[in-house]
């Protein structure tokens, strides 16, 4: 009598390029950022303040809306830039922008009451975790060892020229 045992198939887990990880993280950040702003509209009195021409102590103006557009436009642009910039520029850009967005995310809790601490605490916490992932991914970007020029590479270059 033969007993057949099936070995479980292992799922293939190919490495994901850093650029794709960064683009996915910025996409997640952007969606969360938009939804936090959207859910804020459910806060009692928020829409009345907007109708009154005020958003968190600021008068609604073209300048304020331009700032808001820039705040959401930068993460949207980072999705594209993370996939298209050369590695060195990509790494630096992601490090700088992610570092700058940490205080921007924390500022969302300014002036709120303790009644909303769980909402803002969770949203800011997730945003900062995503930004930390971006910082870690950009900081630990794999490096390719430099090839030193020697007789073998010199000969190869001369062969290519001919």
7, two tokens = 């070995």
Give every residue of the chain whose pLDDT is below 50, as ranges.
none
Distance of CA 43 to the CA centre of its chain: 27
Task: Please report which helix (H) or strand (E) contains residue 55, including its range.
Answer: strand 54-55
**pLDDT value at position 157?**
54
**pLDDT value at position 5?**
65
For the chain, what's the residue count? 162
Q: How far apart are CA 114 and CA 108, in angstroms?
A: 14
Evaluate if pTM is beyond 0.75: yes
8, two tokens = 């479980």
Place of tokens 């303040």: 49
Distance of CA 141 to the CA centre of its chain: 15
**pLDDT value at position 154?**
57
Angle between helices 62-84 and 18-40 (to 10 degrees): 160
**pLDDT value at position 80?**
97
Task: For residue 114, give the DSSP letter.
Answer: G
Sequence-ordered alpha helix ranges (H) in 4-150: 18-40, 46-51, 62-84, 87-107, 117-139
């Amino acid at each position: 009598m033969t007993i057949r045992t099936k070995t479980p198939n292992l799922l293939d887990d190919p490495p994901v390029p850093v650029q794709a990880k960064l683009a996915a993280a910025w996409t997640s950040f952007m969606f969360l950022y938009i939804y936090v702003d959207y859910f804020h509209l459910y806060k009692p009195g928020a829409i009345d303040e907007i109708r009154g021409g005020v958003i968190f102590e600021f008068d609604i103006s073209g300048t304020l809306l331009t700032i808001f557009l820039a705040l959401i436009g930068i993460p949207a642009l980072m999705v594209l830039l993370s996939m298209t910039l050369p590695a060195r520029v990509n790494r630096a850009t992601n490090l700088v922008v992610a570092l700058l967005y940490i205080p921007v995310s924390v500022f969302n809790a300014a002036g709120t009451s303790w009644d909303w601490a769980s909402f803002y605490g969770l949203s800011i916490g997730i945003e900062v975790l995503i930004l930390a992932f971006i910082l870690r991914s950009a900081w630990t970007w794999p490096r390719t060892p430099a090839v030193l020029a020697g007789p073998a590479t010199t000969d190869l270059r001369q062969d290519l020229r001919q």
